[in-house]
A and B are shown apart, each in its own frame.
Chain A
Amino acid sequence: MCCPGCQAVAQTIVGSGLDTYYRHRTENASAPEITGRQLPTNLAQELALYDQPSVQRGFVSAQQGFLEASLVIEGITCAACVWLLEHHLQRLDGIEKASVNLTSHRARIQWDPARVALSTILTEIYRIGYQAHPWHPNKEEELLAAEQKRAIRRLGIAGIGMMQVMMMATALYAGAMQGLEIEYQAFIRWTSWLIATPVVFYSARPFFTAALRDIRSRQLSMDAPVSLAIGGAYLASIWATVTNTGEIYYDSVTMFTFFLLIGRFLEMKARHRSGRAGNSMLNLLPTSALRLTDGVEQLVPANELNAGDLVRVRPGQTIPADGIIEQGHGSIDESALTGEYLPIQKHEGDAIVGGTINVENPILIRVSEVGAESRLSAIVRLLDRAAEEKPQVARLADRVSSYFVAAVLITATVVGGSWYLLEPANALWITLSVLVVTCPCALSLATPTALTAATGTLRQHGFLITRGHVLESLARATHIIFDKTGTLTEGNLSLQSTQAVSDLSEARCLQLAAALETHSEHPIAKAFHPYASELSAEQINVTVGQGIEGMVSNQRYRIGTPEFAIQLCAGSEAEQPALEGKWLLLCNEQHPLAWFRINDQLRHEARDTITQLKAAGLQCEMLTGDNSHAVDETAEQLGIETITRGVSPEQKLAHVAQLQASGAEVIMVGDGINDIPVLAGAQTSIAMGSATDLAKTNADAVLISSDLQRLVDAIHLSRRSRQIIRQNLSWALGYNLLALPLAAFGFIAPWMAAIGMSASSLVVVGNALRLSRLRRRATQRVTHP
């Protein structure tokens, strides 16, 4: 157990008899955001807001006396999470149905509003360690879901049709050997036509539409010869059926369509695996706000705020919109926007940005910008622009295939034309033979199978690829740029060392400090929370930006900045240790007691990763919004020489663009909102698993396990898959070049062509499957529930 939050989650899970979860999960879960068995009151209040009908209107629908809602669940890592969520929810009184989708992380819940409130359901989800947000499907996601359903239907029709036509074909072949009367043969041919027709017109339709689009835009892709072969063979077979002469190819047509569709389907699945798309903005900004109208506080949905509204923000709450501090002062955690890991002091009249977190004191803000004008939206717009201007990765397979396709079409025309002049009766069949034998089946499988195998392998090891080009661009990368806070470091402060300066033991000092700091939610105070003992402090007094004073067993103590703490024992002196870092001093009324060094902990595997990446020939750089001395320290520990510090999101993007202009292929690894534009601008962007949703949705890949070592694996595997794609392409091309002349001179019967095509495809697939193994490496893991 790493924290009280994890402990509470584990107790809830075992307490409700759902401990099977621990036996079946394949990935460690991330630490819950909420600590303690009871939810903090501000979160409970926020969840209670979801019970209001006006808020529910957006995402809840009524179904036969029950209410139904879709939720996005954060924190799902494997199938065991799905099982845990479904079972925990179904045990609640009043829940009619709860189903969770592992791929899209969506939950569909049906409940009886008379017996259970939506806020109770959401609370239960939080209590077992996940976070739930209402989900409004946006246009793009609906399209994706529809596309997937259509693809499955097409695949199904092609599969069913293929089996039926194959049965008929067996009857015809057997009949041809044993002598089948002509009227039965005609009947079976007509039946085959009837079954093959939906396959051609429904299942194979995407090939035809794509081929048409290519002709209009004067480009060549696989789709042109595929449609030509399918359409040509189908039309020729109809002619043979009507006249009852020659050969029919319904079996080849359906089988060809089915295999090609499988390839397309796998490719589409890899493309869709983007985890959670859309709605990320919604999750970032809080859903509720405390509005003051004529001195009366009122909890309203955050999207109903207008410019000019007065809003109270309690400590620990997220600021609902851009604004100006009207009353009060306090520290604001802007790490999501700037990467600066320590909170910033803000006073009356200072501007603050929506999405940042108020750490210490309640403040009153006057809303200045909402919605599209806010700073957060500005970052999102920057992201859109960067994504548009992103350098396109030229794809090897596309280049090869368009030349190949042109060659096939020209050859087929020449062969068809020559045979028409020499022997018109055979021209059609031989031209078809050429098209079938050179069917770019192996060629079209060469890339997708290798990509699918490599993508699947990486996904099993916690590296999720969401865009098609990633494997190729990873293999070509020359530079890898890291963000600091949250990427190379853990992203939260922790206690690095303790130095006692009096006769009191270090352990005792730590207990005293922890007793004082439990009363604060400041990131610095949180570093002490794991060390809490039964000691408790009274008469707590927090001085913003300075420290905490309190009584422990009738002794007065202060902890905080050296200047603040030393005032309690005026006259005495304490010399700050020479080591770099953020030092806190603990004093009692007589003398200083101990120094504590607080820092953002480096990820334990970061150093090895950097060394290995350098060994792989990559330039490692660090790009951070942080401008403190911690930057140099981190860089030195990791051995990174090139550092760019204190930069805004815009400057980060400019830096990467400048590198790209000098010919670099850049991988960007980041996690915060401030990294989003640069993530969109780099050739390959990788977000950490703990990153904000917005960053994850816009990254090309997500490091789910947050284990940096996986980056090294991914780069090695991507280089290997590039090799295998090359091998596959040369094999497929070699085979086709050999078979083409034979077919053109009429030596290859269509059945031979079909066997050759299948064998060639099998070789390609077998070769690609070599990518499904990854070199094993022993890794240390931190245990979470």
Chain B
Amino acid sequence: MDIIYLLIPIAIILVSFATWAFFWSVNSGQFDDLESPAHSILYDDDEQLIPEEARKKKDEH
């Protein structure tokens, strides 16, 4: 059980890293707009990223 003396401090270090990352993302404005990013995934502006073969199959359907 003595392992918790190592594991819990490691967990706390990881948590403080996560907290730091969270603060950084808030301060750099990533949470400013909570609405439009949810929609942006729906736009079909990635057509040039679809491989040639897959594109053909899509047309046949």
Contact = CB atoms under 8 A, between A and B. Distances in A.
Interface in B6-61: 8, 11-12, 15, 18-19, 22-23, 26-27, 31-36, 38-40, 42-45
B1 A184 contact: yes
B5 A187 contact: yes
B43 A103 contact: no
Contacts of A194: 12
Interface of B is mostly: helix
A148 B45 CA distance: 31
B4 A184 contact: yes
Q: Name, among A79, A83, A181, the residue most crowded by chain B CB atoms within 10 Å (CB to CB).
A: A79
B43 A20 contact: yes
A187 B44 CA distance: 53
B45 to A, nearest CB: 6
A594 interface: no
Contacts, number: 70
B35 A102 contact: yes
Contacts of B5: 187
A149 B4 CA distance: 35
Contacts of A188: 4, 8
Contacts of B35: 79, 102-103
A195 B31 contact: no
A184 B7 CA distance: 13
Interface string A541-583: 0000000000000000000000000000000000000000000
Contacts of A80: 39
Given A103-B35, A164-B15, A83 B43 contact: yes
Contacts of A590: none
B1 A152 contact: no
B34 to A, nearest CB: 7
A82 B4 contact: no
B43 A152 contact: no
Given A152-B31, A156-B26, A187 B8 contact: yes
Contacts of A23: 44
A188 B38 CA distance: 39
Interface string A187-208: 1100100110000000000000
Contact of B32 (A79, A83, A101, A156): A101
Contacts of B22: 153, 156, 160
Contacts of A195: 12, 15
Contacts of A20: 43-45
B33 A102 contact: yes
A325 B40 CA distance: 52
A24 interface: yes
Contact of A103 (B1, B23, B34, B40): B34
A607 interface: no
Nearest to B42: A24
Contacts of A164: 11, 15
A375 interface: no
A160 B19 contact: yes
Contacts of A152: 26, 31
A779 to B, nearest CB: 23
B31 A149 contact: yes
A194 B11 CA distance: 12
Given A104-B33, A157-B19, A187-B5, 20 more contacts: A20-B44, A20-B45, A79-B35, A80-B39, A103-B32, A104-B32, A149-B31, A152-B26, A153-B22, A153-B26, A156-B19, A156-B22, A160-B15, A160-B19, A160-B22, A164-B11, A184-B1, A188-B4, A188-B8, A191-B8
